[in-house]
């Protein structure tokens, strides 16, 4: 079992979480120590339970503010001492105090940021008439999908694409990119210097595989 510990926040289907379970956790590259969801019915929680990963449903209380809710989330996370937090389809904006108190937090988004931030990015790309879109893994800051980019991969938009078909193809790209980035963190190859992200080369001079998607 790897010593590098990561936690995942997810609100929905959890296909990105599944990729991390299969390609990172089960392969012993890093240990997934907690999956937390704000949505009791999230399939992500079921995926965690099936993999024997601790799964916590923590819905916000009625009229509970973002700050108070994330103080509770922060306590649960702090107890498992993660080295990295991954937002994998987590549908809430994090307050700055939470980000400051936590280890690095990364997010995966289905567009080439800064294009099409926020909700329904594949639909935004279609409506705009974009011919190429893609996915981004980035560090989380206090903005909506504004943090420093770690990894991006591009994908052509096909004439017959619907928002759903495009999103499904983007998700396959997201899974691979997210797995590469979490592995790079686990291997100590990611250096964060302000807004600049440096990815170390292998000792034999080869570029680390994470660099292929930059
Ligand atoms: C992904 O497209 C992710 O980029 C976005 O929400 C979606 C979550 O998908 N933030 P899943 O729950 O991982 O299947």
Q: Which of 109, 138, 167, 175 is catalytic?
A: 109
Calculate the average pLDDT of the chain. 93
Q: Which domain holds residue 59?
A: 1-103
The answer to whether residue 53 sits within a structural domain is yes
Q: Are residues 71 and 98 in the same domain?
A: yes
Q: Are residues 127 and 69 in the same domain?
A: no
Q: Which two tokens stand for residue 169?
A: 């193809």
What integer pLDDT is reported at residue 1 of this predicted model?
A: 65
What is the arithmetic mean of pLDDT over 26-54?
98
The answer to whether residue 142 sits within a structural domain is no
CA distance 117 to 141: 13
Q: Are residues 118 and 38 in the same domain?
A: no
Q: Are residues 201 and 125 in the same domain?
A: yes
What integer pLDDT is reported at residue 194 of this predicted model?
A: 83
| Nearest-atom index, ligand 1, CA of 174 | 4
Confidence at 211, pLDDT banded by 50, 70, 90:
very low
Q: What is the pTM of this model?
A: 0.94
pLDDT per residue over 103-136, tens digit each? 999 999 999 999 999 999 999 999 999 999 999 9
- Asked if pLDDT for residue 204 goes beyond 80, the answer is no
Q: Are residues 88 and 124 in the same domain?
A: no
> Would you call 120 a catalytic residue per the annotation?
no
Beta-sheet pairing, 55-57 with 84-87: unpaired
Q: Which two tokens stand for residue 193?
A: 């210097």
The answer to whether residue 146 sits within a structural domain is no
Q: Are residues 68 and 96 in the same domain?
A: yes
> Would you list the DSSP string of 124-184?
HHHHHT-SEEEEEEEE--SSSS-SPEEEEEEEEPPTT--HHHHHHHHHHHHHHHHHHHHHH
CATH number, domain of 197, equals: 3.40.50.170
What integer pLDDT is reported at residue 202 of this predicted model?
A: 53
CA distance 151 to 58: 30
The answer to whether residue 145 sits within a structural domain is no
pLDDT per residue over 160-190, tens digit each? 999 999 999 999 999 999 999 999 999 999 9
Domain total in the chain: 2
């Amino acid at each position: 079992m790897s010593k590098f510990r990561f936690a995942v926040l997810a609100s929905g289907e959890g296909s990105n979480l599944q990729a991390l379970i299969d390609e990172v956790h089960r392969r012993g590259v890093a240990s997934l120590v907690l999956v937390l969801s704000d949505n009791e019915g999230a399939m992500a929680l079921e995926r965690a339970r099936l993999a024997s990963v601790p799964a916590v449903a923590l819905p916000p209380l009625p009229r509970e503010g973002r700050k108070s809710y994330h103080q509770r989330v922060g306590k649960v996370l702090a107890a498992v001492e993660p080295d990295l937090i991954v937002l994998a389809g987590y549908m809430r904006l994090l307050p700055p105090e939470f980000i400051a108190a936590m280890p690095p937090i990364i997010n995966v988004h289905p567009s080439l940021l800064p294009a099409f931030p926020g909700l329904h990015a594949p639909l935004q790309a279609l409506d705009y008439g974009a011919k190429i879109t893609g996915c981004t893994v980035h560090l989380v800051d206090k903005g909506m999908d504004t943090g420093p980019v770690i990894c991006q991969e591009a994908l052509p938009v096909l004439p017959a694409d619907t928002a759903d078909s495009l999103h499904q193809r983007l998700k396959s790209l997201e899974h691979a990119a997210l797995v590469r980035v979490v592995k790079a963190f686990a291997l100590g190859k990611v250096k964060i210097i302000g807004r600049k992200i440096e990815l170390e080369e292998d000792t034999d001079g080869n570029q680390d595989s994470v660099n292929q998607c930059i």
